[in-house]
Homo-oligomer: A and B are copies of this chain.
Amino acid sequence: MLKVVQDTYRLPDYEIALWQTNLFKALPQDVSNSLLTSCKLLELPKNETLHLQHDTADWFYFILSGWVKVYRETQEGDEAVIELLGTGDFVGEFAFLEGGCYTSDAAAAEKTTLVKMPAFLLKEAATKSHATALALLSGFADKRQRQTQELEGLKLQNAPQRIGCYLLRQCGGKEMGKHRLNLPYGKSLIATQLGMKGETFSRALQKLKKATHVGVTGRKVQVPDICALAEFVCAGCSNEYPCKDVLLDPRQSA
């Protein structure tokens, strides 16, 4: 099922990208070097499965480009997106636990390039290297942070606010005033991520436009007044814009 496009034991093209990731940066050099030796480069076409829930967690992945949807599916076929991971993020961290099974399904939401490494190696690295364990701890904490934020949003914000919150996070939280950006992936995927149906997303977006004067055309987004947006969104949130704790791109944090 998985297609290994390159089996070299060096990753000249991507090594630099890998070093940008939070977790990898934090590894002591000898550990990361030895890990690199065992890495494989993996390219997944859109919709290809990466792993399934309850599979033995033999592999651990870093995302170099694209998007990976980590999700769960009920017997009835409904699906819940648990996290949507992008460049610099890692997948399969439950490989570390004793049971060693994945706890969710994962699939490429877009054409995605990853670095794949044997889980036991990283487990071993964590066991042997204190710095690795600390790096993982920090990575886990990051993820938990983001997840907590999502939980809060689901419980406290309505559909238009959740979309607005998503846009705010896309803005990156630096400057006030005008912003212009592109949605990183399709609207229906954003909808699922935010815990709503595609139709609801579409309607909620209309409301958001009227309430905050944001403009959305295709994937292009214009935010004429980020304060207006923040006012609308943050009324239903425990944080105020800029909510630094909560960033979409893992490379921005820490």
Please report A residues at the B interface, Cβ cutoff 8 Å: 53, 72-76, 78, 80-82, 93-94, 96-99, 103-104, 126-127, 130, 133-134, 136-138, 140-141, 143-145, 147-148, 150-152, 154-156, 195, 234-238, 245, 254
Contacts and interface: CB of A to CB of B under 8 A. Distances in A.
A66 to B, nearest CB: 22
A144 B137 CA distance: 12
A74 B148 CA distance: 14
Nearest to A138: B97
A248 B143 CA distance: 21
A127 B131 CA distance: 9
B148 A148 contact: no
B134 A140 contact: no
Contacts of A145: 94, 103
A151 B82 contact: yes
B154 A74 contact: no
B74 A156 contact: yes
Contact of A141 (B96, B127, B152): B96
Contacts of A97: 138, 141
A187 to B, nearest CB: 18
A94 B142 CA distance: 10
A137 B136 contact: yes
A73 B238 contact: yes
A151 B98 CA distance: 23
A238 B104 CA distance: 9
Contacts of A143: 144
Given A82-B148, A147-B147, A236-B76, A195 B155 contact: yes
A223 B120 CA distance: 42
Most B-side CB within 10 Å, residue of A98, A126, A237: A237
